Structure 1
Amino acid sequence: MPGGIEGFDRNVFINCPFDKGYEPILQAILFCLIYLGFSPRIATEANDSSTVRIDKIRTLIESSLYSIHDLSRCQAGKKGEHYRLNMPFELGFDYGCKQFFTDQRCDKKFLILEEKAYRYQAALSDIAGCDIKQHAADYQKAVRAVRNWLVSEADIVADGAAKILGAYADFQEWYYERQLAAGFSEDDIKDYPTSELLAAMKAWVALGKPI
């Protein structure tokens, strides 16, 4: 474990869009990772405004053996809109970490996702030839891609994607009812912070995955 980094071999850094349209995919990926016994590491897991974002990202990258990079927002969505460069920048940052460290971080494993096949090549041709997985903005396809990647790269025995997705539906119902009982409105539940959602997912698993 490099430099005594806690949980390095189970940490998964997630580099992805944070817009409303991507939320269903992100939340499903977070659940899949926790269900399979991994620890998602994401910039929004904490809201400390005193921490410089790039420093936070560097720490998360260096402390994670696995990384998921979704490049779905590397193209402008409408006229006058700029490309979002954060995702390819963080992928490059992570690739540099893999190349320049000589401890276990040189064994880092990446899963690169995109919404549409081959679209990334227009903005990031340097990764042409890499095995990019397409999810078509479908959270179920994203879960299958993450599950299959971890089975291959982390050498784990895992439930099938259909079972994981069924459990995700059970969790969503459990979480919604728990939050309503705790006095949250529907708007409150839709606007929960990532840290709260992660804590709820871990609690659900610890409770034996109640239905």
Structure 2
Amino acid sequence: MPTPFERSVFINCPFDEDYAPILQAIAFCVMLLGYDPRLAPENTDNAANRLDRIIELINGSKYGIHDLSRCKSSAAGEYSRMNMPFELGIDHGFRRAGRGPLADKVILILESTRYDYQKALSDIAGWDIQVHGGDFQKAVRRVRDWLVDKAGADPIGAARIQGKYIAFQEWHYERELSTGASDDDIKEYPTNLILAAMRQWMDAGQPV
């Protein structure tokens, strides 16, 4: 069954190994609060156009989380990463020009260091940008507070969410070891498999 528009949360963020702890914690928080995290990698059909997949996900999600913390280059000769602000622009465009449910879309913007975004995207100066400092626990707090405030999610405390996240990680790790997976295998699982495991853990009653 497709996820209803009102329960879908599009997550626009980096998908590299260093950012994975933040991404997975955010996705877990969204799921635990009763919403469905939607990410471009969830569709592994290589024949599908990536931009078309992204537009479809944005169009089908009332809520959008956009992390702009990786938009700047980190080394000489390296290009800035423009995917995140580009997808934010698409989401904002849907909200401004859309009719019906699209006009009610809600957006959260995250960054690592306060005011970094102003150096590259000054058009959104004055927006309420939330800072996580590269800390997945802070990212969970920001997303939790936003969903409680803007979506009316159950006000589960951030500390409880983080505790349940640890319980999930332990359960998932032990389960995968029992199937013959190694530590290296588990570390390299793609995002869509981790999200599937989160759903399985919740469907199983959140075992500890």
Q: Normalised by the size of structure 2, how large is the TM-score? A: 0.97
Tell me, in whole angstroms, the C-alpha distance in 1 between the residues paired with 2:60 and 2:178.
Answer: 37
Q: How much has 1:18 moved relative to structure 2?
A: 1.0
| Residues 36-84 of structure 1: per-residue CA shift (max 9 Å, x gap) | 1110000011211001010000000000000000001111111111110
Cα distance in 1 for partners of 2:158, 2:197 equals 21
Q: Does 2:42 correspond to 1:48?
A: no
CA distance in 2, matches of 1:139, 1:206: 24
Structure 1 pair 49/178, CA: closer, same or farther in 2 (3 Å)? same
- Partner of residue 173, structure 2: 176
Which stretch has the larger CA shift, 98-107 or 84-93? 98-107
Counterparts of 1:24 and 1:6, CA distance in 2:
25
Shift, 1:6, TM fit: 4.2
Instruction: For 1:156 and 1:85, locate their aligned partners in 2 and report how far apart those are by CA, in whole Å.
Output: 31
Which position in structure 1 is the counterpart of 2:128?
A: 131
**Superimposed CA distance per residue, residues 120-175 of structure 1 (whole angstroms, 9 cap, x where no aligned partner):** 10100000000000000000000000000000000122210000000000100000
Give the aligned CA root-mean-square deviation in angstroms: 0.9
Per the alignment, residue 188 of structure 2 pairs with 191
For residues 155-199 of structure 1, the C-alpha deviation after alignment (integer angstroms, 9 at most, x for no partner) is 122210000000000100000000000111111101112221111
SS at match of 2:23: helix
1:105 aligns with 2:97: no
- The answer for the alignment partner of 1:142 in structure 2 is 139
Work out the CA distance in 1 between the residues paired with 2:105 and 2:176: 37
Q: Distance in 2 between matches of 1:144 and 1:160?
A: 9
Query: Corresponding residue for 1:153?
Result: 150
Q: State the partner residue of 1:80.
A: 77
SS at match of 1:159: coil
Q: Which residue identity lines up with residue 42 of structure 1 in the other structure?
A: L
Distance 1:185 1:47 in 2: 23
CA shift, 1:98, in A, is: 0.7
Consecutive unaligned residues in structure 2, runs of 5 or more: none
Q: Corresponding residue for 2:93?
A: 96
* 1:21 match: secondary structure: coil
Structure 1: segments with no counterpart, 5+ residues: none
CA distance in 1, matches of 2:202, 2:16: 27
CA distance in 1, matches of 2:7, 2:132: 24
Query: What one-letter code is carried by the residue in structure 2 that aligns with 1:63?
Result: G
Identity value in percent:
55
1:200 is matched with 197
Secondary structure in 2 matching 1:142: helix
